[in-house]
Amino acid sequence: MILAGGRIRTLGRTGLNPHSHLAIAGGKVFACGGPEVMKLRGPRTKVVELKGSAVLPGFNDAHAHVVYYGLTRFAADLGGARGVDDILDRLRDHGRSLKPGEWQQGMGYRTDELTERRQPHRTELDRVTGDRPAFIDERGGHSRIANSAALAAAGITPETPNPPGGRIGRDLNRIPNGLLLESAMRLVADVQPLPGFARRIEGVLKAQDLLVSRGITSVGAAVNRGFADDLRAYEQLARDGKLRIRVNEFLSWELLEATSQLGVQSGFGRGRSRSLSTAAPSGSRCAQAAAYGARRRGSCATSSRAPRPWAFRSRLTPSATPP
């Protein structure tokens, strides 16, 4: 394919001056320049006339919660809610689609956009969720509200202390009001049933659709709970030719012990999935390669040879050739 007659910016010094033509072959940029690029045109080459439109390199999102965002697409959409009653109405409608015993989630409201200028109270959520555990996220991702059933599932009582780095919201009588800030959110998240693997795959695809539509072609994917399934999901999508973005998987330091228990060993992984140390020399193609699952082809995680293990990331790269 040849993109012709545009304003094409490339990376590096050559991008200081725009080019007009770009040739693509095998999923990679083959040539970039002026009208002379048209000499590469073959009998089956597709030519796209840009008519002066701009072409830019793919953007990188250095900190993206890809799986988390994708999974929230199955939750109640609370974006743009103007009041607590609006949130409750949306939760009530969404709850009708859930199976008995399934946890309810909601995502996207902002406290400063609510008429009440406050977070919802657990008892307000209780009115529409009943005994179904419900856990909703404010848009910023640093606070959540749990209903009474979710607090009970997590064993949160008036005597539960605030965890390091977090806070449990309480009424004046010290009874938890449902608000969980920062690390306190994990008290409930850690007892919440994990989504099935198929749901996780579908969530990644939903997130990928949004990223690609915005011109984002690579991400630094932050992970926490369920990281092993995240890696499996990216691996399967890459193997099936459905992974259209490059994913650098960043593991939190508290996951290192669990990672080592997966049987991670260095020197494994190549092609579309690798693990690289951020301390490796720039451009190194073999720095601290590792794998998720010692016997799984094409898997990845962190390297056991890390001088600073928290600095490692796993990288999965879509391949231009079939497996």
Specify the pTM.
0.76
The pLDDT, as a whole number, for residue 225 is: 67
Give the distance from CA 126 to its chain's centroid. 30
CA-wise closest residue to 145 among 134, 155, 154: 134
DSSP letters along 192-225, please?
Answer: SPPPPHHHHHHHHHHHHHHHHHTTEEEEEEEE-T
Buried residues in 93-114 as b, exposed as e (16+ CB within 10 A)? ebbeebeeeebbbbbbbeeeeb
Task: List the structure tokens of 188.
Answer: 């409930």
pLDDT value for 13: 78
Burial class (CB in 10 A: 0-12, 13-18, 19+), 316: buried
Q: Residue-wise pLDDT tens for the chain (323 aa)?
A: 999 999 999 988 777 889 999 999 988 899 999 999 999 999 999 999 999 999 999 999 999 999 989 999 999 999 999 999 999 999 999 999 999 999 999 999 999 999 999 999 999 999 999 999 999 999 988 999 999 999 999 999 999 999 999 999 999 999 999 999 999 999 999 999 989 999 999 999 999 999 999 999 999 888 766 777 888 888 899 889 999 998 887 776 666 676 667 665 443 334 444 443 333 333 333 222 222 222 233 333 333 333 333 333 444 445 443 33
d(CA 30, CA 1): 10
Indicate the SS3 state at residue 234. Answer: helix
The pLDDT of residue 314 is: 45
pLDDT of residue 160: 98
- Count CB-CB contacts under 10 A for residue 265: 17
User: What are the tokens at 322?
Assistant: 């079939």
Q: In this predicted structure, what is the pLDDT of residue 204? A: 95
pLDDT confidence of residue 249: 77
For residue 75, give Cα distances in angstroms to 103, 137, 225, 294.
10, 10, 18, 35
Work out whether the CA dihedral 204, 206, 209, 215 comes out positive or negative.
negative
State how far the Cα of 154 lies from the Cα of 190, in Å rounded to an integer: 8
